[in-house]
Amino acid sequence: MAGHSKWANIKHRKAAADAKKGKIFTRLIKEITVAAKLGGGDPNMNPRLRLAMDKGREANMAKDSVQNAIKRGSGQLEGVSYEEARYEGYGPGGAAVIVDCLTDNRTRTVAEVRHTRGPVSLGAVSVTCSTLIVARTH
């Protein structure tokens, strides 16, 4: 009978669940790395890092992954360097828009934010930065 392979069904469900979990883990690792870079690698002295580690524990993240992200952020391991940026601008109807970003590439963020937000007049407020994740829109 075609289409009745139990393993094929399990494989597709597992692949979808793993992709969803991997996306969450990637976002958490980036947050842990940036928190360790900005405030140091000690969770007792860095509340942002402690919060990011708690979120990682809630998502059942491995301790090794958390420790490697902390080491990468504090400079003990080589890896991608993430930076934060805040862009503010005005959208349609004069609505004020503030976008916080976390990025690894300075050349893409502005274009990407403008593309996702539509016709918005944006200007860099803090560190100019550019890519990947638009974390919050206020």
Model pLDDT for residues 77-107, shown as the tens digit of each residue: 887 778 888 888 887 788 888 888 888 886 7
Query: 138 vs 97, which has greater pLDDT?
Result: 97
What is residue 119's predicted lDDT score, i.e. its pLDDT?
60
**On the CB side of 9, how many CA atoms lie within 13 Å of its CA?**
5
pTM for the full predicted model: 0.65
What is residue 49's predicted lDDT score, i.e. its pLDDT?
94
**Considering only CA atoms, which of 99, 82, 106, 84 is closest in space to residue 26?**
82
Quick one: CA torsion of 23, 19, 79, 50, rounded to 10 degrees?
A: 40
pLDDT above 50 for 132: no
Beta bridge partners of 123: 88
Residues of the chain with pLDDT > 70, as a percent, come to 81
pLDDT above 70 for 136: no
Say if residues 85 and 103 touch (Cβ distance below 8 Å). Answer: yes
What is residue 123's predicted lDDT score, i.e. its pLDDT?
57
What is residue 138's predicted lDDT score, i.e. its pLDDT?
47
